[in-house]
């Protein structure tokens, strides 16, 4: 491999989390733009430049933000472009996404969210498959990011 060739990594991880609410409540946090923006997009380390969500099969989601001063990559812009491939209300969401850093693609993902009713609420099972482009730390960072987002979702639903 020459210095100009890109390096590709492939990875799959699964995150399971039980929420003490019925599937309808948990699913709505993914389906309603204002609710999803609150737990998924808003945060202290970045400034949202764009968040648009058209929640339907074939619909898209765009999310772009710039890291604030004090962040290790302050000033850098992350852009996520996603398409909802399959939606079964209160059962599953399948989406594909491309994440770019400063305009350069760094990961292409397939994410499947399953909403499984349990005696104690709802199990959400996220199966994430990614192709990481010239981003050796991406596998760890994306999984950590999703774990943090699921924790934020739990706190948001508890409000």
pLDDT tens, the chain, 159 aa long = 455 677 999 999 999 999 999 999 999 999 999 999 999 999 878 999 999 999 999 999 999 999 999 888 899 999 999 999 999 999 999 999 999 999 999 999 999 999 999 999 999 999 999 999 999 889 999 999 999 999 999 999 998
Spatial separation of the C-alpha atoms in residues 70 and 105, rounded to whole Å: 24
Tell me what pLDDT residue 71 has. Answer: 85
The values of phi and psi at residue 124, to 5°, are -100, 125
pTM: 0.93
CA geometry: angle 34, 39, 42, nearest 5 deg: 85
Tell me what pLDDT residue 3 has. Answer: 54
* Residues 88-101 pLDDT 10s: 999 999 999 999 99
Using an 8 Å Cβ cutoff, are 136 and 149 in contact?
A: no
Q: Tell me the pLDDT of the chain averaged across its residues.
A: 94
**H-helix segments, the chain:** 23-31, 33-36, 138-157
Tell me what pLDDT residue 6 has. Answer: 75
Domains, the chain, with CATH or none: 8-42+81-157 (3.30.530.20)
Tell me what pLDDT residue 121 has. Answer: 97
Tell me what pLDDT residue 41 has. Answer: 94
Tell me what pLDDT residue 113 has. Answer: 98
Using an 8 Å Cβ cutoff, are 60 and 51 in contact?
A: no
């Amino acid at each position: 491999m020459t210095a100009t060739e890109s390096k590709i990594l492939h990875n799959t991880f699964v995150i399971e989390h039980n929420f003490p609410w019925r599937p309808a409540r948990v699913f709505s946090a993914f389906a309603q733009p204002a609710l999803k923006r609150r737990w998924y997009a808003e945060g202290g380390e970045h400034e949202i430049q764009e968040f648009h969500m058209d929640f339907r099969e074939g619909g898209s989601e765009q999310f772009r933000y710039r890291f604030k001063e004090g962040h290790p990559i302050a000033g850098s812009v992350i852009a996520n472009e996603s398409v909802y491939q399959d939606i079964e209300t209160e059962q599953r969401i399948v989406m594909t996404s491309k994440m770019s850093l400063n305009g350069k693609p760094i990961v292409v993902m397939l994410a499947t969210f399953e909403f499984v009713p349990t005696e104690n609420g709802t199990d959400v099972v996220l199966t994430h498959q990614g192709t990481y482009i010239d981003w050796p730390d991406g596998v760890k960072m994306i999984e950590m990011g999703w774990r943090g987002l699921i924790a934020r979702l739990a706190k948001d639903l508890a409000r």
